[in-house]
Copies of this chain bind each other. A is one copy, B any other.
Amino acid sequence: MKPKPGRTADDAISRSAVPLLDDEDGIGAAHAEDRRFVWALARGLEILRAFGPEHTALSVGRLSTMTGMAKPTVSRLTHTLAALGYLRVVDKRGHYAPTPAVLTLGYPVLSALKVQDAAAAPMQEMAEATGCLVGMAARDRLSMVFAQCAPPPWLATLRLGTGSRVPMATSALGRAFLAGLGEVERDFLFGRLALRHGVEWEALGPRVADGIAQVSARGFCIVDGEWQRDVRTAACPLVTAHGVMALMAGAPGYTITNETLENEVGPRLVALAAKLSPLIGS
């Protein structure tokens, strides 16, 4: 851990055209000797990241154990976030919860993707026609994060929406995304995924590769029950000016057959991707 002046490996990564990430969980060892890296900011964002559908309100101590930071540190960061309006205190015991202010942070992305005007209508249309939940997602670290989601009116079991995440390796969305990527980035992510999934990658890796092969063969891939039991999904890559993303359509197993997914939903998804691809981005 000697001060190494000039360029570090992280520097090269962060400068590359594709901003490649650190490890999935935690910001621990990465950027250890990057003099330009601002830890306070990283830690503060890690606090915001700790909240999720399962944990809508958290105390300082809980955040401390979850993130691995010292309590006083967490206390100051939550205090700061509260003063800025991103968090608020929800009870006497000092539980913090995110406020709608955090939504403004995501807005520039959604507007840049022109999701609101261009993509929403055709996605909603397809959702109603096929009975599938139709979603558009991009990569964040080793997950896919939804930018837009069109649920069919009657389907309430699949709880996904803007900002929610699914794992890259076990979802159709993630495999379609990988299929849309260039050689270099795909290999890089494969390495990361292998690292993350450890020994089970031996069985998982070939299935991911198979998904990619499916995309090469017919434009989309299918995952049946692998990400969540009884959820069938088709997905295809979506290459735009803003980078590679992916489209997916899925439904509970009892509302759709693999044949329908294969013969109707999949091709329709590919058509939708072709239609949206030039519209997205400036």
Contact = CB atoms under 8 A, between A and B. Distances in A.
A101 interface: yes
A36 B98 CA distance: 19
Nearest to A149: B116
Interface string A25-65: 00100110010111111111100110111011000000000
Interface in A1-47: 10, 13-15, 17-19, 21-22, 27, 30-31, 34, 36-45
Interface string A96-125: 011111111111111110011100110011
A195 to B, nearest CB: 17
Interface residues of A, number: 88
The number of times this chain is found in the oligomer is 2
B159 A38 contact: no
A115 B159 CA distance: 10
A180 to B, nearest CB: 15
Interface stretch (A81-89, A182-190, A216-224, A264-272): A81-89
A163 interface: yes
A105 B41 contact: no
Interface of A: 10, 13-15, 17-19, 21-22, 27, 30-31, 34, 36-45, 48-49, 51-53, 55-56, 75-77, 79-89, 97-112, 115-117, 120-121, 124-125, 137-141, 145-147, 149, 151, 153, 156, 159-165, 245, 282
